[in-house]
Amino acid sequence: MLFISLIALIVSTEKITICGDTHGQYYDLLNIFKLNGLPSETNPYLFNGDFVDRGSFSVEVILTLFSFKLLYPDNFHLLRGNHETDNMNQMYGFEGEVKAKYTAQMFQLFSEVFQWLPLAQCINNKVLVMHGGLFSEDGVTLEDLRKIDRNRQPPDSGPMCDLLWSDPQPQNGRSISKRGVSCQFGPDVTERFLEQNKLDYVVRSHEVKADGYEVTHSGKCITVFSAPNYCDQMGNKGAYIHLRGSDLKPEFHQFTAVPHPNVKPMAYANTLMQLGMM
């Protein structure tokens, strides 16, 4: 199985909707479908990782997304985020939530499926989508990404790690990541990668943004984040992006948080992480 799959937008009027992190915010996910229409063969979606953890309705989110993937396997796309991993799920709530609502065996099944999620998606050979970002070293090609063995927990370094964990920075070059893993990459890094791989721009998620999205690196690096009022405390908007087959120029759509049942974020998280949220 290839790590990079191709979405072919053949008809110029076709569009695909790209959503960023949803992080267990099930009622905000339903609101996306209310605003933008349910997934279908004529209304394709790409969800760019971090479906679970933090929000306390992660089971509902992931089962909904998996159901649409089963219904529309060629028109509904899911990429792996850094939170579709065992160590994150143990700390930030998904493992505890699955065990509370189902069983430990059920969590192992989710873990197995997460390991098979693609790490990146290339749209019309022009736009590369991944959860985190670009790489700690120059010279990485799309063919290199296709060769990654993805059926595993991610390593602490290398291209698989970077796809899940890296972040853009405004200054040229690279720097140590504030996250303690992978790197931060500048506009020159983005430009070289795009030029080498004959791409127009990249779309990534991974970071909360006040407006739900952010355009950086002279329009070549776009962040989209789809969990509004993140963790019930950030006050940010959510956003999703439309890309149309005619020119793939991004169209941004913002939305605000909707009410949810009175279950606080991180309700199922590791005890130490819950204390950190107080």
Contact 222, 214 (CB under 8 A): yes
Contact 94, 52 (CB under 8 A): yes
Q: Name the one residue in this structure whose structure tokens are 């956003």.
A: 239
Name the catalytic one among 23, 83, 206, 260: 83
DSSP code of 132? S
- Give the C-alpha distances (Å, rounded to integers) separating 211 from 125, 186, 196, 206, 273: 28, 21, 31, 14, 26
Residue 124 CA to residue 236 CA, distance in Å, equals 31
CB 150 within 8 A of CB 132: no
83 classed as catalytic: yes
Catalytic center residues: 83
